Amino acid sequence: MKKLLLLLCLILIFRANGSAAKIGDISDVQGIRSNPLMGTGLVVGLNGTGDNSLPSAQMLTSLLRREADTTFLSPMLQSANIAVVMVTAELGAWDREGSLIDINISALQDAASLQGGMLLATELKGMDGEVYAVARVAAISTTSWTVEGNTGSKIAKNHPTVGRIPDGAHVERSELSRFFDVVGRHRYLTLTLRHDDFTTAERIRQAIDTKYADAGYAQDPGSVRVQIPKDVSSGNVLRFVDSIMQLDVEPHMPAIVVINERTGTIVVGGNVTITETAVAQGALVVKIKEEQLVSQPIAPFSRGATTAVVPDSTVMVSEGEGRLITVPTTVTVEELANALNAIGATPNDLIAIFDALNKAGALQAKLEMM
């Protein structure tokens, strides 16, 4: 079990091995985003699992009056078969009138379950108060169940008070995004990096300039501005954007160590190094050593070869009593982690070691605690 926990929670090491990524995988086009919609609706047809509250009764009364049906209009409209809910959705950047979008339904009062309920037509509004979609009348899918005994014992699977309806709303009004700006006679689009970084932004600019001369401009570590060439017609703008997003760029891996002490998780960047240190944590003694090996070519067929000094770094970890020995070195965190992993160091040991390395100034990286 100890080894299993160590395997699951110990260290995730990402090596900076020169692997490239597409620009579209590490950045987004500014202006393309979805818009949240929400509305208050009523669920009917529940099997006694509704909220039986005054708001749901008032909403049902208002609905019946709107339908000019006065048959059931009386002070006793409260029922456990109805529930007032919040309906939410995301209006996509390119959703047009008549298209269908998914909706989520959440109970607002003390309803026990929405299983088997039917959502009535509900207006979905944006933050500006305008109606952008209308939820259609449809059955709710909760992917859950609840079983309750006579003595009060109850077993529930998943969340019975939250459900969804795929393609549950019709778009009545679109809010199309504009992904490029027009300044004078020039058109520009802006790429926003998902992780701000000076080096990555400059590499994206260089990749764009290689394909389209002087088209890219890195205005800050989080965005790159791209000028759309004049010979690109309005009908070929999407093709131009696609050609930009398919370019390969090697993202810069920052030297950072992220520690979540609550879960014992440690994530170490591949560019992190440790310099001139030795560590003792409890019964663990870690020695990091660097040697300069001299390569002297004396073998046959080595005419023209020269003497060279080759650095060799090693990490040694031992358990038990021992004295702390400090030796100069520069090794990667992966070498240290492999050595600690080989003797079964716990996550708490590693967290304490990395914290001490950072305070000693030997950890050449940013240490971030979650």
All domains in the chain, ordered by first residue: 19-31+178-249 (3.90.1150), 35-171 (no CATH), 255-369 (no CATH)
Contact (Cβ atoms closer than 8 angstroms) between residue 80 and residue 2? no
In the chain, count of helices (H) and strands (E)? 7, 27
Above 80 in pLDDT, residue 115?
yes
Residue 1 CB contacts under 8 Å (≥ 6 apart), including other chains: none
Mean pLDDT of 135-140: 90
pLDDT digits (tens, 9 = 90+) for 142-176: 876 666 656 656 666 678 889 999 999 999 998 87
Nearest Cα to Cα of residue 244 among 207, 273, 299: 207
pLDDT digits (tens, 9 = 90+) for 249-304: 999 888 888 888 777 787 877 777 777 676 666 655 666 655 566 566 665 555 65
Query: Model's pTM, two decimal places?
Result: 0.65
